[in-house]
Amino acid sequence: MNTAPRRTVLVTGSTSGIGEAICAAFARDGADVVVNGRDPQRTDAAAERIRATAPHSEIRAVAADVSTADGVRVLTDAVPEVDVLVNNAGIFEARPAFEITDEEWIRYFETNVLSGVRLTRHYAPGMMRRGWGRVVFISSESAINTPKEMIHYGATKTTQLAVARGFAQAVAGTGVTVNTVLPGPTLTPGVEVFIADRVGDNIPFEEAERRFIAEERPTSLLGRLIRPEEVASLVRYVASDGASATTGAALRVDGGVLSSIIP
């Protein structure tokens, strides 16, 4: 007989790619899952896809733009408490360093950093009172290897490491853990567009993928893009009871792109 508690998991930015894969993994485990995105139709559609793979889990769709304080309030009003928070919402785009405006820098920090800060600030105290909780920030190998074509993105991902470590220290000894997961280049719809822009859209994607890894991420030991399900597997572990001694950590699922021994 399974006596494990049924937990509620919120994954921001989960209408496709890594976020959707994380939702699907938790749903298959029997968790109640909250799917979040900015667009109501896309958010509902993602929830339906996940529901089809896990009919015994409760799947909720909550459309809210977590890059704004008002959007975070919409989400937290709809879902006051969660047991697992996965801060996955994020944006990226190639842009020459000297062409990144103040407005873009602010937009990147609002979306990639402050969304997770605001949500952790809201949900972690409840986790502490209940004596159990998991907060996971989805960072990137770009937190360590700042990409010259998008330094604003890399800077926000580095900041997430510090934010997560700080929150982990703030919740020490409460049964709550806070960690970051660092994916490498992952096959998501956004990355497909990114690679097409970098390599060219007049060749089959398999060849574009090979060229991108060989030319722009040559340190990859995997030799291909990571799949979202592979990232979800690590997140699923970090959020488990078995990961109770893992906190304040930066955990890599980067396919060996980072050549350093530790992040």
What are 145-189's pLDDT values in tens digits?
999 999 999 999 999 999 999 999 999 999 999 999 999 999 998
3 state SS of 42: helix
pLDDT of residue 196: 85
pLDDT surpassing 50 at residue 1: no
Note whether 165 and 51 are same-domain residues.
yes
Range of the domain at 220: 187-225
Note whether 240 and 149 are same-domain residues.
yes
- Contact between 181 and 234 under an 8 Å Cβ cutoff? The reply is yes
Note whether 108 and 176 are same-domain residues.
yes
Is 260 inside any structural domain? no
Give CA 46 to chain center in angstroms.
Answer: 16
Note whether 53 and 139 are same-domain residues.
yes
Is 154 inside any structural domain? yes
Note whether 236 and 220 are same-domain residues.
no
pLDDT surpassing 60 at residue 3: no
Which ranges of the chain would DSSP assign to H, the alpha helix?
A: 17-28, 40-53, 69-78, 102-109, 115-130, 151-170, 189-199, 205-216, 228-238
Note whether 143 and 196 are same-domain residues.
no
Domain count, the chain: 2
Cβ-based neighbours of 236, under 8 Å, separated by 6 or more: 22, 25, 26, 29
Please tell me the pTM assigned to this model: 0.95
Note whether 182 and 221 are same-domain residues.
no
**How confident is the model over 25-53, as a mean pLDDT?**
97
**How confident is the model over 218-230, as a mean pLDDT?**
96
- Contact between 154 and 142 under an 8 Å Cβ cutoff? The reply is yes
Note whether 70 and 171 are same-domain residues.
yes
pLDDT surpassing 80 at residue 4: no
How far is it, in rounded angstroms, from Cα 206 to Cα 198?
14
Burial of 218 (0-12, 13-18, 19+ CB in 10 A): exposed
Note whether 118 and 175 are same-domain residues.
yes
Instruction: Write the CATH number for 64.
Output: 3.40.50.720
Note whether 74 and 195 are same-domain residues.
no
Burial of 34 (0-12, 13-18, 19+ CB in 10 A): buried
Residues marked active site are found at: 153
Note whether 178 and 191 are same-domain residues.
no
Cβ-based neighbours of 109, under 8 Å, separated by 6 or more: 156, 159
**How confident is the model over 97-109, as a mean pLDDT?**
98
pLDDT surpassing 90 at residue 205: no
The side-by-side arrangement of strands in the sheet containing 176-183 is 59-63, 32-37, 8-11, 84-87, 133-138, 176-183, 250-253
Is 125 inside any structural domain? yes
